[in-house]
Every structure is written in C-alpha cells, then in structure tokens.
Amino acid sequence: MDEKNLIKNAKLGDNYAFNSLLKPYVIQAQQTAYLLLHDYALAQDAVQEALIQTHSSLKRFEPNKASFKTWFNRIVVNCSLKQKRKQRFTFQLQDDFENNDNPEKECILKEEEQCLIDIVKTLKVKYQTVIVLHYFQELSILEIALTLNIREGTVKSRLYNAREKLKKIVLSHKSNLSLKGEYFWKES
C-alpha cells in the first residue's frame, strides 16, 4: 500500500496502517533525537512522544502543505527540543554505545561519526539542528526549512555559519582528530 493510502486509512483509525506508515521513519527519528539530545533514554522518550503526537494529530495532517516525512520530522525535532529544554543542565555524553548488546543502539551511531558528533554538540542548538538534519538525516534545504518552520535563506545562513564554526574547531584540534576536516564544509 502506498503512503497516501496508508495516511488515509490511518486517519480512519487503522492502527496497522499507522504502524506501516511510520515504520520507515522510526530509526531515522531515533537518530535525529539522539543527535540532538546526546542521550539514548531521552531520545527514546522524545520519539515516543512524537509518535503519540503524530497519532493524535494525524487527522490535521495536510499533504498539500508538506510531505508526511517533513511533517513527522518537525514533530520529532520539536519533541526533542522540548526534552532538551526540560534538562537545564549540560548533557555529558555517556558512552552507552560501548555495550553493543543492543543492535538498535549500533544502528543509531556509527563509530566514525562519534568524533563528528562530539564536535557538533559544542555548537548552539540552532546550528546543531540544521547540521543534524542536513548531514546526518540528509534533508534538503527546503525540507529543513519546512521542518523547522523557517525560511530557506535562514537554513542556508545557519548551515554556512555552522560549517565555519566546525571548520575552526576541527582545524584547531586537527592533531587530536583523525578527521581531515572536509566533511561539513563541502558545499551541498
């Protein structure tokens, strides 16, 4: 069944259609939440809240305004940022990925991305968000603008500024990093 029919059936209360509709997006939602929150448990909570909100507000989804993927990503980002606001302390990334007894955790982050994530999390939230959505979730400028409800020019500006900040960090710590410092400032 295609996405359009799944949405239609899910709006009518078909839980199987709702689950089928969201299945392709859940892993990406967990990745997005984790990359924004730096805490596996908080990310799981944010995704769970996003799923609940998606279920309760699906009847208000309008496919002519945004794709389902973009609409769901907006909910995930908003729930993640809400979780982040609840936590008034600075998150210290705990290496809960050392224990690889859970394949889901292995899927969330690749080992080579860990260094990049550590660098990205030093940025302000507005820069972290566009970096995560663009480079880790591979959303286009337009999709990010729709997800965050900001203009495309604002997304481009934030990406540019974030890349410049990341470039300075990587180049100043190049001897300590295995990165070549090229990942984020490649023009997209």
Tell me the CATH number at 115: 1.10.10.10
**Residue numbers of the domain that contains 128:** 110-188
Between the alpha carbon of residue 104 and those of residues 14, 73, 95, 129, the distances in Å are 27, 20, 15, 22
CATH of the domain at 41: 1.10.1740.10
Look at residue 104 and tell me if it is in a domain. Answer: no
Residues 1 and 157: their CA atoms lie apart, in Å, by 39
Number of domains into which the chain is organized: 2
Look at residue 9 and tell me if it is in a domain. Answer: yes
Look at residue 21 and tell me if it is in a domain. Answer: yes
Q: What is the 3-state secondary structure (H, E, C) of the chain?
A: CCHHHHHHHHHCCCHHHHHHHHHHHHHHHHHHHHHHHCCHHHHHHHHHHHHHHHHHHHHHCCCCCCCHHHHHHHHHHHHHHHHHHHCCCCCCCCCCCCCCCCHHHHHHCCHHHHHHHHHHCCCCHHHHHHHHHHHHCCCCHHHHHHHHCCCHHHHHHHHHHHHHHHHHHHHHCHHHCCCCCCCCCCCC
Q: With beta carbons less than 8 A apart as the criterion, state whether 181 and 172 touch.
A: no
Identify whether residues 185 and 156 lie together within a single domain. yes
Identify whether residues 41 and 118 lie together within a single domain. no
Question: Residue type for 64, please?
Answer: N
Identify whether residues 5 and 87 lie together within a single domain. yes
Per-residue pLDDT 10s for the chain (188 aa) are 788 899 999 999 899 999 999 999 999 999 999 988 888 889 999 999 999 999 999 999 988 888 899 999 999 999 998 888 777 444 444 444 444 556 555 555 555 566 677 788 888 989 999 988 888 788 899 999 999 999 999 999 999 999 998 888 877 766 455 444 445 544 44
Q: Burial-class residue 20 by CB neighbours within 10 Å (0-12, 13-18, 19+).
A: middle
Residue 107 has a pLDDT of 53
Identify whether residues 81 and 123 lie together within a single domain. no
Identify whether residues 77 and 9 lie together within a single domain. yes
Identify whether residues 184 and 148 lie together within a single domain. yes
Residue 182 has a pLDDT of 46
Look at residue 101 and tell me if it is in a domain. Answer: no
Residue 114 has a pLDDT of 67
- Of the residues 95, 120, 135, which one is the last residue of a structural domain? 95
Residue 93 has a pLDDT of 40
Residue 168 has a pLDDT of 85
Residue 56 has a pLDDT of 92
Identify whether residues 130 and 179 lie together within a single domain. yes
Residue 169 has a pLDDT of 81
Identify whether residues 88 and 132 lie together within a single domain. no
Residues 113 and 119: their CA atoms lie apart, in Å, by 10
Identify whether residues 156 and 82 lie together within a single domain. no
Identify whether residues 24 and 68 lie together within a single domain. yes
Residue 26 has a pLDDT of 93
Residue 106 has a pLDDT of 56
Angle between helices 15-37 and 68-86 (to 10 degrees): 50
Look at residue 103 and tell me if it is in a domain. Answer: no
- Of the residues 35, 66, 95, which one is the last residue of a structural domain? 95
Identify whether residues 67 and 144 lie together within a single domain. no
Look at residue 100 and tell me if it is in a domain. Answer: no
